[in-house]
Chain A
Amino acid sequence: MLKQVALIGMPNVGKTALFNKLTGSFQRVANFPGVTVEKKTGWISENGEKTIEVIDLPGLYSLDATTLDEKVTKDFLLQKDKTQHSIHFVLVLDATNLDKSLYLAFQLKKLGYPLLIALNLMDEAEKRGLKLDIKLLSQELNAVIVPTSASTGLGTQELILKIKDLLQNPDDLNLSLPQEIQKTFRSPHYINGIFKEVDELLSKVTIHPLKPDSLSEHIDQWVLHPVWGAVILIFILLLMFQTLFSWSAPLSDGIEFVFSFLGEQVSMHVSDKTFKSFLVDGVLSGVGGVLVFLPQIMILFLFIQFLEDIGYLGRAAFMMDALMRRLGLPGKAVIPLLSSHACAIPGIMATRVIDNYRERLITMMVIPLTTCSARLPVYALLIGALIPDRAVGGIEFFRLPGLVLFALYMFGFLSAMLMSLIFKKSLPQSSPSMLLMELPPYRIPKLKNLMLVMLNKGKIFLKKAGGIILIISIIIWFLVSFPQNNGESHIESSYAASIGRTFEPLFKPLGFDWRITTALIPSIGAREVVVSALSLVLSIEEGSEGFEENMSMALVNQFGAGTLLALLVWFVFAPQCISTFAVMRRETNSYLWPTVMVAYTLLLAYGMAFLARQFSSFLF
């Protein structure tokens, strides 16, 4: 029989970090409540054999679940989850905040669930002076307690042994919670009673109390200051975009050199002209053209993860709440909106923490306007072509391209705010959602976690480059190289030209000719493809020799600055990739809203790109 155990607990107590430690998985962790919004599974392995399935469930404050993510966990406890085989779980408590996390322990104890408790963040609690009589705590709760630290690995092995003991228990629990019992979870008398029991227990088992977290309070005086807080936020973002360009440059140059070298080797050793073109223009130029942006994407993820780990995102939600509410969004929407700068898919999933459906829907609808990492290669390529690399205000570190990149991200974010205002006015009113959110203490991010996130995201991007991007590049190469005439490719008479010309009239007002149109179509699958598609179209047209160095120049020469500006603006607003559409369909359980999303972003992209093209003469 399948052995299965779930991790449950309040939000931000380190369940996912513990899950990763137990299973060797690499699920996303961050320092704010509500990171896990759906259940995730992994395995405890012994001698390479998977022995116990571990389920990581979203956090819940009490069994009286009020948000979608909390209901996932409640369904598990009520055995409504069709994929579950048992109801055994480890309750994860935050040792630095037992006042809070013991509430759930008492609720579960009262219902007769056997308790195996991981007393997590124990290292941090001890550093802050906490001393507990764990034996007494264990007796009072009638629970098995293992002090753990997901960051150091403290207690992990012992916890695995205790999980095995728990699963040896032959009693098959069959707990049902009738409606009458569930109603009591919301009774003030019941809630007051549990808190009283928590206080009594803590006074018994606490040998030395926890020192208050004064550091977080001091930092918040600056970070949450109405003026300095905004200055700090803008500074962090500016620094991030400058760093994207400056730190990544040597690495990007290195990747470009490698692909250029490989191209030269292939040119020297492969004699068949078509096969050589396939390797150099189709594979190396297509994939290499996108891979040069790998360092920028990894640095972007590093920054986002840093902000998440340090505990900044919850603060950003607090600072933005009042403004966001006027625009139809709750402050909590800042978290999915900022996460969407990495990728829109987890961003849309993260909206589950918003309890009001209307506000959740508005957030999902405007997420495509935030700039996901797939747009970064397109921005970087077009900025490189349009913007001179010069210092701003005499400060060498602050370069004009970085500033323009920052402006594009801001442009996307402000457009999202404006659209949410329009949705707010258009959709039927309902009562606003809760802000009610616990702010986590500041924590120094673990370098290892940051590096692992960065490498993992890099790996995902490499897989994408070796998968969909490579496939699309080969298809485009075929379309631009065939049919051949006497063994020669003539791009003007290629299949790509026929397809591009079919759609060309539609995009002509934007200045997009058939070459750009051909590059735009496959970007529905993955946006980065537009870079390889353009490089393919131009390299075959111009010849591959020395092409990489001259890509920017070739773009300006071939299309003109006005068209490139229109293309840049197009990508600020253009619809998200097909995967985003699919996730949106799943989360709204309808085709209507994803269709509206695609329609409005398409219209917006077209209109704004048209305006950009018309006004480009004032700029260039």
Chain B
Amino acid sequence: MTINEAPLHQKVAVSSLHPAERELSDIESRLMHLGFIEGAKIEVKRKTTLLNGPLLVEVRGRVVALSQAEAQLVKVEICSC
């Protein structure tokens, strides 16, 4: 699943961000520099359901706002962390 599909307040871990065979796009690069790297523990703090709005995600101790399109780039899996 991608971050936007992750349950609210459930700790998840990043499983992958991009297909390995191509270069990172600007958005993927920024996501990684903000800490969305493989294995990173994250938590969805808030979802804006109205108008398919953005999400708030906690990663590496900081709160990051992501649009739906950005959130769909990050694949996550539920972890017991």
Residues of chain A touching chain B, judged by Cβ–Cβ distance below 8 Å, are 61-62, 64, 66, 97, 99-100, 103, 186-188, 191-192, 195, 210, 212, 216-217, 220, 224, 226, 314, 317-319, 321-323, 325-326, 331, 355, 432, 434-439
Contact = CB atoms under 8 A, between A and B. Distances in A.
A521 to B, nearest CB: 44
Interface string B15-26: 001101001101
Given A186-B23, A188-B32, 17 more contacts: A100-B60, A103-B33, A186-B24, A186-B29, A188-B17, A188-B24, A188-B37, A191-B33, A224-B46, A224-B56, A325-B67, A331-B67, A432-B69, A434-B26, A435-B54, A436-B27, A436-B34
Kindly list the 5 A-B residue pairs having the minimum CB-CB distance in the complex, ordered from nearest. A322-B53, A322-B51, A435-B67, A99-B60, A62-B33
Query: Which among B34, B46, B62 has the greatest number of chain A C-beta atoms within 10 A?
Result: B62
A326 B51 contact: yes
A568 B45 CA distance: 44
A331 B29 CA distance: 20
A62 B37 CA distance: 15
17 contacts: A97-B61, A100-B35, A100-B61, A186-B29, A188-B20, A192-B37, A220-B45, A318-B54, A321-B67, A322-B50, A322-B54, A432-B67, A434-B26, A434-B70, A435-B66, A436-B30, A436-B70
A97 B62 contact: yes
Contacts of A100: 34-35, 60-62
B36 to A, nearest CB: 10
B63 interface: yes
B48 A226 contact: yes
A353 to B, nearest CB: 12
B70 A435 contact: yes
Nearest to B64: A438
Contact of A436 (B17, B18, B31, B37): B31
Contacts of B24: 186-188
A97 B60 CA distance: 9
Contacts of A322: 48, 50-54
A186 B29 CA distance: 6
Contacts of B60: 99-100
A524 to B, nearest CB: 39
Given A192-B37, A322-B48, A434-B70, A61 B30 contact: yes
Contacts of B67: 321, 325, 331, 432, 434-436
At the interface, is chain B mostly helix, strand, loop or mixed?
Answer: mixed
A432 B69 CA distance: 9
Interface residues of B, number: 37
Contacts of A226: 48-50
A549 B39 CA distance: 70
Contacts of B46: 220, 224
Given A66-B26, A66-B30, A186-B23, A437 B65 contact: yes
B38 to A, nearest CB: 7
A103 B34 CA distance: 9
A438 B63 contact: yes
B64 to A, nearest CB: 5
Given A224-B46, A436-B65, A64 B51 contact: no
Contacts of A434: 26-27, 30, 67, 70
Nearest to B61: A99
B50 to A, nearest CB: 6
Contacts of B61: 97, 99-100, 210, 212
Contacts of B26: 66, 355, 434
Nearest to B20: A188
B23 to A, nearest CB: 6
A436 B73 CA distance: 12
A582 to B, nearest CB: 30
Nearest to B23: A186
Query: Which among A217, A314, A331, A435 has the greatest number of chain B C-beta atoms within 10 A?
Result: A435
A188 B29 CA distance: 8
Contacts of B20: 188
Given A195-B35, A212-B61, A321-B67, A64 B29 contact: yes
B53 to A, nearest CB: 3
B40 to A, nearest CB: 8
Given A321-B53, A323-B51, A438 B32 contact: no
A439 B53 contact: no
Contact of B65 (A195, A210, A217, A318): A318
